[in-house]
Amino acid sequence: METNTQLKLAEKGAWISIFTYIILAAVKLYVGNIGQSEGLTADGLNNTTDVISSIAVLIGLKISQKPPDDDHSYGHYRAESIASLIAAFIMLTIGLQVMVDGIRNVFRDQTVKPDWLSAWTALFCAIIMYAVSLYNLNLSKKINSPSIKAVAYDNRSDALVSIGAFVGIVGTHIGIAFLDVLAAIVVSIIICKTAWEIFRESSHALTDGFDTNLLCRIEDTIVHTAGVKQVIAVKARMQGNQILVDATISVDPHLNVIESHAITEEIEEQLKHEHHVTRSLIHIEPYQYIK
């Protein structure tokens, strides 16, 4: 699948997330108001901020599609990773806010019980949001998109927030008020943990970190290519959802330029086919025979 096609599919996932957030935010704010549910209203306001996160990812995807220019010879694909970082920071803010609000509820004297419509709305919205998260997570795996993976995790976190609101409302009806606080703390921990995972993956890619297991498999593919005598060095890095490889190999010194070049083309084809490497640069050196 071509990179531009992958980015277009990623845009679709971001748009689905944006529209879902807008619709669910409107529903939660309306039902929360008429049902006198502060938890559901807060959840609706939370979804309005999530729209910003998805828009940031969408902008990152748009920038990623810009062709290479004078000062971006490799293209703009790392804008995806930057968008993932922004999403991680927004998620962390939401997670901390959920925890603070939950703790505040301990000291709040709530005399009004939200109606059951608010509870079922929260649960329904959680199911919808979780379904969107599964769609985006599968899409991120299909197109190897870090930013859509971040969106999927954000969607899942919001589904958990809605479940927390549902538990809180149920708690007020059955006389177990601490359920609200317990749900808020558990949900906030999960959200913060997810934000940390996204931050770690994005910052790892931006600092040219790479999966060592995949690097070993790439090296194994190169060394078993016909004509390769030795792999002297191999490096790889992520550029958005692209894999870039630099390798130095040694070949028979008696080969001519055309024969040596044919080996590099075979390596590039194998890396593309087996490991989805977008671009590889193979440097050739003469093999030193040891007698």
* Per-residue tens of pLDDT for the chain, all 291 residues: 566 677 788 889 999 999 999 999 999 989 988 887 777 887 887 788 788 888 888 888 888 888 888 888 888 888 888 888 888 888 888 888 878 877 776 676 655 677 888 889 999 999 999 999 999 999 998 888 888 988 998 899 889 888 988 888 888 788 776 776 777 778 788 888 888 988 998 898 888 899 999 999 999 999 999 999 999 999 999 888 789 999 999 999 999 999 999 999 999 999 999 998 989 999 999 988 654
3-state SS class at 153 = helix
In order of their start, the domains of the chain are 3-206 (1.20.1510.10), 212-286 (3.30.70.1350)
Largest CA distance in the chain: 90
Query: What local confidence, expressed as pLDDT, does residue 70 receive?
Result: 81
Instruction: Enumerate residues 6+ apart whose C-beta is below 8 A from 26.
Output: 44
Query: What local confidence, expressed as pLDDT, does residue 10 receive?
Result: 86
Other CB atoms closer than 10 Å to residue 55's CB: what's the count? 17
Query: What local confidence, expressed as pLDDT, does residue 192 receive?
Result: 87
Query: What local confidence, expressed as pLDDT, does residue 179 receive?
Result: 73
Query: What local confidence, expressed as pLDDT, does residue 88 receive?
Result: 87
Query: What local confidence, expressed as pLDDT, does residue 291 receive?
Result: 45
Which contacts of 149-153 are long-range, i.e. CB under 8 A and separated by 24 or more positions?
149/84, 149/198, 149/201, 150/57, 150/83, 150/84, 150/87, 150/88, 150/198, 150/202, 151/13, 151/14, 151/17, 151/53, 151/54, 151/57, 151/87, 152/13, 153/91, 153/194, 153/197, 153/198
> Which amino acid type is present at position 81?
S
The answer to whether the beta carbons of residues 269 and 245 sit under 8 Å apart is no
Query: What local confidence, expressed as pLDDT, does residue 27 receive?
Result: 93
Query: What local confidence, expressed as pLDDT, does residue 44 receive?
Result: 85
Radius of gyration of the CA atoms of the chain, in A: 25
